[in-house]
Amino acid sequence: MRNIRLIAQMSINEMSRRKILPILGIMTLGFFVLFDFVIGGQSSAAVPGNPLSNLATVVGDKVMAAFFVNLFIGFMAIFIVSGAITPEVDNGTLLVILARPLKRWQIIAGKWLAVLVMQVVMIPILVIVTSIIVHAYFPHQSIPLPALMGTILSFLEEGWILSLLALLGSVFLSQVANGIMIGLAFIINFIVGSMAQLVHHSLILQIVSPTLSLLMPTNELYRRALFEWSGGISNPFLLSALGPFGVTHPPAGSIAIYAIIYTGIIFAITCRSFARLDV
């Protein structure tokens, strides 16, 4: 555990020294300010006697906020994690570390732990602060605590999976190639998932979308998070009116368990791949 902690500390230190953490913090703060500004404008235009209209506004805002969190998670995997192994092997950083008495899986675990810590801090902040802003302007649109926790868990699992896939890719590919691969897989998954919200009679889509969800369940976790965050089954807009951005077929709660099993398998594959890598 000590070695994992040391690698994680150094990785976090590196993110800080490379100004990744301050930039993430500043940009997130910028999002909060803009979000507050937009919601404030919407609340002044709200129709007091029409709660459905207000609900539609809030759901729209939450979809945008969820999309921001989704991008945040994607950017983190593409720009931070995708260069975790191969570039450090190429420039010799890992050579001096690997010659020390530590096991390779500990390096993978340490580097992943660093990203997990960042996500565990940043994602709840994003969800909670956004929810507080919404609640401040629309007091009747509060989200129950279990749903809030479910939202955060789904986003966290999405982040863990994406960062782990990026870590696995970094064992084999250069940072740019890996970033492109992970980024496009993430986007394709999202687009196919969005199309599946619209088209119900396409047999191919009904096969491709679940297959992709099994192979990379990030989109399912995103939809689950959005579903929880927007009031779940009681919200008519989410289920029918938002088209590709909504959740016409809410993923079951068991997606969280599948995500954990999936994460364990990918972690094992990543460790094994790195253990076999000639550096």
Partner 1 sequence: MVPNAIETVALKKIYGSHMAVNHVSLIVRRGEIFGFLGPNGAGKSTVVKMLLGLVTPTAGTARLLGHSYREVSIRRQIGYLPELFRFPPWLRVQEVLTWHQKLSGLTPNLGQVRDILQQVGLEGRESHRVKSLSKGLQQRLGLGVALIGDPVLLFLDEPTSAMDPLGRHEMSQLFKAMRKQGRTIFLNSHLLSDMEHLCDRVALIDHGNILYTGTLQAALQNQHGGYRIFLDQLPEACLADLSQHDLSLHPVGEYWHFPYAREKLPVLHQILAHHAIDVYEVEKDKKSLEDWFLESLETDDPVHGPTHEPKLLRKDERRA
Residue number, 23 or 257, with CB nearest to partner 1: 23
**DSSP 8-state secondary structure symbol assigned to residue 18:** T
Distance between CA atoms of residues 264 and 75, nearest Å: 22
Residue number, 12 or 165, with CB nearest to partner 1: 12
- Quick one: which of 49, 100, 201, 203 contacts partner 1 (CB under 8 A)? 100
Could you say whether residue 254 binds partner 1 (CB under 8 A)? no
Q: Which of residues 158-177 bind partner 1 (CB under 8 A)?
A: none
Q: Is 19 left (phi over 0), alpha (psi -120 to 50) or beta?
A: left
Contacts with partner 1: how many residues (CB under 8 A)? 22
Near partner 1 by CB under 8 A, which window of 5-13, 37-45, 73-81, 217-225? 5-13
- Long-range contact list for 139-145, CB < 8 A, 24+ apart? 140/51, 140/54, 141/54, 141/55, 141/58, 143/229, 143/231
Distance between CA atoms of residues 263 and 164, nearest Å: 8
Could you say whether residue 14 binds partner 1 (CB under 8 A)? yes
Phi, psi of 50 (to 5 degrees): -130, 80
Residue number, 130 or 170, with CB nearest to partner 1: 170
Return the amino acid letter for 220.
E
State the angle between helix axes of 145-172 and 51-75 in degrees (0 to 180), rounded to the nearest 10. 30
Residue number, 11 or 218, with CB nearest to partner 1: 11
| Nearest approach, Cβ of residue 84 and partner 1 (Å) | 14
Residue number, 103 or 200, with CB nearest to partner 1: 103
- Quick one: which of 20, 38, 97, 129 contacts partner 1 (CB under 8 A)? 97
**What residues line the site for partner 1 (CB under 8 A)?**
2-3, 6, 10, 13-14, 17, 91-93, 95-103, 276, 278-279
